[in-house]
Chain A
């Protein structure tokens, strides 16, 4: 689990890879050629970035005939949000709940 999260954070640490994910978010299921269009990156560089994203499970691949289509897989980001970031959210919500109890307790008294 920790190692899987490391891969996700490392994959997301590169602006070019985040750009590729953004492009798939805008239009899911693109082939390499479409993903490269209008980018200031070589085809080889894009291929390498896609491999890192696939290894981190942020991209899922579907073969349609001879075409390799890339799909954004948001599940690992969701898992990090649920298990890691939510911890801090819970802390903040508990503080608010405590504050509410305290203030309401004061007004009752």
Chain B
């Protein structure tokens, strides 16, 4: 079956420990991930939700795989948009790999359907998000545009 996939890679001068924390800890995510925070106990099989500051749920799913400081796989369904929600569950994989003084972070977003609106829409956001995460970890400051939830969304 045809699928839709996007892949994003960035090299961040940090440690896997710090990056692993930055991907999940609300103290980090609220600063670079459009002011959102995760809700999960991060155990495989547990529910996972990404919360918008106004209390709405942006995305939800299940923790599929956890290898601390190496790999995190989440099933991922849009909750804030009906058309994207109707596509069902996609899958987001975070892979961390130390390379010299840096960590290579690969984010793969995929779904088992062609021309996915969910994957294609989020493909506009991931580069901003990852650039902001890199900036936060390397300089202490995220990009201002990813520090708030986008107006009207």
Which A residues are closer than 8 A to B by beta carbons?
A: 1, 4, 28-29, 57, 60, 62, 71, 73-79, 82-83
Q: A4-B11, A82-B143 are in contact. Are A28 and B127 (CB under 8 A)?
A: no
Interface of B (DSSP majority class): mixed
Contacts of B132 in A (CB 8 A): 82
Can you sample 12 A-B contacts with CB below 8 Å? A1-B138, A4-B11, A57-B9, A60-B106, A62-B108, A73-B7, A75-B130, A75-B131, A77-B127, A78-B128, A79-B131, A82-B132
A-B contacts at CB below 8 angstroms, number: 45
Which B residues are closer than 8 A to A by beta carbons?
A: 5-11, 13, 106, 108, 126-128, 130-132, 134-135, 138, 143
Closest CB-CB distance, B31 to chain A, in whole Å? Answer: 15
Closest CB-CB distance, B29 to chain A, in whole Å? Answer: 18
Query: Complex formed: what's the CA distance from A79 to B137 in Å?
Result: 14
Query: Complex formed: what's the CA distance from A62 to B108 in Å?
Result: 10
Contacts of B9 in A (CB 8 A): 57, 60, 73, 75
Instruction: Pick from A62, A71, A82: contact of B135, CB below 8 A.
Output: A82
Instruction: Pick from A4, A71, A78: contact of B127, CB below 8 A.
Output: A78
CB–CB A28/B11 < 8 A: no
Instruction: Pick from A71, A77, A82: contact of B7, CB below 8 A.
Output: A71
Query: Complex formed: what's the CA distance from A8 to B5 in Å?
Result: 23
